[in-house]
Structure 1
Amino acid sequence: MLQGRCRIIIPHDVGLTILKGAVLFGLDPSIIKVRRSPLTYGVGVLNRYVEGKHPPDKMLVKDGTRWCTDVFDTFIASDQSVALGETVKRSYTPAKPSQQIIVIHIYCSEREQVGFISDAGVRKCGTLRLDVSGTESPAARREIQTLMQFGDTEIRAMAVDVATSRTVKASIDFLGQ
């Protein structure tokens, strides 16, 4: 079908080129300054329900306040340029003061624009786990500030309890899902 219209070039030793790039990166990771994210990454959150903007089946009423469930909070969009060490900052609050572990599911999609974690093509791809034991404080509302670092060969997470300035053990699991 394309015969005669275009030339297809298949370079020799493609595997060797990839291997050379991996070795150079291993020797000096700063050689790669920017990557493109292959997927859109984010989490599901509750947002204030807005009539006409949010679907009625996503509305949740809690303590007299209307919330929209399953909203996709985007960290990084697909095909977005991500600099080495670029961070995304979010704050999370334990549901109860006695809560010891906060588990946040990470979702991904090939699409750049995602509205809800229940949209077609969105799938759970990992879990962010924050161990907040040992950071208890008398504050009525505990805020755990989380930094996720993108742009490297893996996504890393760090977290701090804002009230006590104590480091919170943070880990991301993309294998166990």
Structure 2
Amino acid sequence: MAGGFSEADTLQHAIKKQFQSLELFIPLDGSLSVLKGAVIYGHNPEVVSSRVCNYTYGVAIAMHFNPSIHDPRKKFYRDGIVWCNDLFDILFEIDEEVYIGQTKSINVTTTFFSDELQILRYDPLQNQFMVSTKKDPFYTSDEGCMEHGSIILSPPNGMWPKIVNGKILLKIAGTELVGTYLNEDTLEETSARFEFLPSITKNPERKRLFDPFYLDI
């Protein structure tokens, strides 16, 4: 037990009565233990080398449409190919233990071959980073999914080439996530930082795991 509340005799008695088979440890100066931990972490973030994902993290992508597994309502056409939109490509799963500096990535390609797409070569591209309260979301529109952040990419030299090869990376950086897009043709990188824990969730079971102000009464 830790924290100032753990020093209360009434609470200690109730915990001992409820869990008689367990040995109870109450540190000295329990009211300062959380504060001391925060100060230590502030001076040396590497003291916490790993953490557990409270969410599933990934990227919104499109893939070639497969009628056996994809929703027809997600179907669209681009450059003469049938695609499926709003797919959730998972990088880190809920309850997965992750380590500071750990990075996962996916390769992505965007094409501008057809005549009607030529005007879009002058427009920015967007990469969406997603979170979900589910372990294995399939679509970004599934229940429990939300956009966590995005990267806006400007076309190099004012216009995208007809084939754009890139890599999207997501890195665990302490209390933050770093999302990066690497243009594999120009080697230019564009990055953005996001909180490791989203500020809101509609799932009280997950919220209880990280929100110190949430009381399940």
Same fold (TM over 0.5): yes
Deviations 1:127-163 (A, max 9, x none): 22334545968x5312233332115111113443222
**1:112 equivalent in structure 2:** 135
Report the AA paired with residue 122 of structure 2: S
Deviations 1:96-149 (A, max 9, x none): 4434x3322222111111011111111222222334545968x53122333321
2:162 matches 1:121: no
* Partner SS, residue 42 of structure 2: helix
1:6 to 3, 15, 18: 18
Structure 1 segments of 4 or more deviating over 6 A?
2-5
Distance, in Å, in 1 between the alignment partners of 2:184 and 2:16 is: 65
Where in structure 1 are there 5+ consecutive unaligned residues? none
Q: How many residues align?
A: 171
Tell me the TM-score normalised to structure 1 length.
0.76
Conserved 8 A contact 1:142-1:163: yes
Distance, in Å, in 2 between the alignment partners of 1:15 and 1:159 is: 44
Distance, in Å, in 1 between the alignment partners of 2:152 and 2:35 is: 34
* Partner SS, residue 127 of structure 1: strand
**2:175 equivalent in structure 1:** 153
Report the AA paired with residue 56 of structure 1: P
Conserved 8 A contact 2:177-2:194: no
Conserved 8 A contact 1:90-1:146: yes
Point out the structure with max Rg over C-alpha: 2
Q: Which has the higher strand share?
A: 1
2:182 matches 1:170: no
Conserved 8 A contact 2:121-2:155: no
Ranked by relative contact order (alpha carbons within 8 Å, sequence separation 6 or more), the top structure is 1
Where in structure 2 are there 5+ consecutive unaligned residues? 1-13, 113-119, 199-217
Q: Structure 1's 154 and 135: CA in aligned 2 closer, same or farther, altered over 3 A? A: farther
**1:102 equivalent in structure 2:** 125
Tell me the TM-score normalised to structure 2 length.
0.64
Q: Which has the higher helix share?
A: 2
Conserved 8 A contact 1:35-1:151: no
Q: How large is the RMSD of aligned CA atoms in angstroms?
A: 3.2
Deviations 1:69-88 (A, max 9, x none): 21111121111111111112
Q: How does 1:9-158 map to 2 (within 5 A)?
A: 16-93=32-109, 96-99=120-123, 101-134=124-157, 140-158=162-180
Conserved 8 A contact 1:131-1:168: no
Conserved 8 A contact 1:129-1:171: no
Distance, in Å, in 1 between the alignment partners of 2:191 and 2:15 is: 55
Conserved 8 A contact 1:130-1:170: no
